[in-house]
Amino acid sequence: MVDNITPDQDKKTEAAPMPVLQHSQTNGLAIAALVTGIVAFLSGLVPFWGLLVGAAAIVLGALGLRRAGGKGMAIAGIVTGAIGALSSIIFSALFIIGLATVGFSGEAIRQAAQDANSSIDKSNADTKAQINAKKDFAKGETAKFGTFEVKINSVQRDYIPADSYPRADSGNEFVLVNISVKNTGSEAEYISSYDLSMNDNGVSDTASYYDVNPSFDGGDLSPGATTTGNLMYEVTKGSDKLKLQYETTVYELGQSDVKNLTYTLAL
């Protein structure tokens, strides 16, 4: 006896495609820098307050430039914050001079001005030293990326993850790099895996999203603190021009331009 099979029953059922999650990156620090910079710009006529808000905008903007996306907003925040801070400095000076006419001694004002100038000079001297410092380091060296001391502990070429996913594209390979980063500064500094890219013959790219334990998590490093972990990169197979790359920005008080600094450490 032959069973009756309808055409509908004979069709193969196709699995519905899995939805693809789209991730949008929002640079909160860049947005905060822009908003704070606008407030600083509008507060430029207010003694002291505009200076504080402007300084905050510059710091937020510099941190925002380290994050993915929103660099335009971060730079705009730095510029508007700087303008507001400089305007506030001028009106703060006029305010102090006005107070001097009603009782402040000229000597006290001169001392305050000297202290302010000394602080600005020291800050600019530190910035210039960072600008003029060595930027490119050879294989095996312990690099100095600004306030960070960076050391490559090991490099594994043609790395294949333990599970079946992911795999490098045709003509590429994975490189597993174990690094240590130490904060040599006097204040806490933030660093993440996205701050450390791989320069493959002049083309840089961020680390893979795939974590290999112990992974490099980064975070806010206290003065003297060190963090160690693995970063995985996809590079051209057999490339002999690989460099760990770090980018940051510096700003000189009294100057209107922001300087981008790029450091590299050869593998």
**φ and ψ at residue 134, rounded to 5 degrees:** -60, 140
Q: Which amino acid is at 248?
A: T
Distance CA 174, CA 121 (A): 46
Query: Running DSSP on this structure, what letter comes out for residue 62?
Result: H
Give the model confidence (pLDDT) of 120-134 as tens digits.
Answer: 666 677 778 888 899
Task: Give the model's confidence band at 109: pLDDT under 50 very low, under 70 low, under 90 confident, else very high.
Answer: low
The predicted structure's pLDDT at residue 35: 75
* pLDDT value at 234 more than 70: yes
The rounded percent of the chain whose pLDDT value lies above 70 is 63
> If we measure between CA atoms, which residue out of 42, 110, 32 comes closest to residue 74?
32
Give the pLDDT band (50/70/90) at residue 255.
low
Bridge partners, 149 (sequence order): 144, 182
What confidence tens digit (pLDDT) does each residue in 152-195 have?
999 999 999 887 678 899 999 999 999 999 999 999 999 999 99
Topology of domain 136-266, per CATH? Immunoglobulin-like (2.60.40)
Tell me how far apart the alpha carbons of residues 177 and 238 are, in angstroms, rounded to a whole number.
15
pLDDT band at 49 (very low <50, low <70, confident <90, very high): low
Which secondary-structure segment (H or E) carries 81? helix 71-100
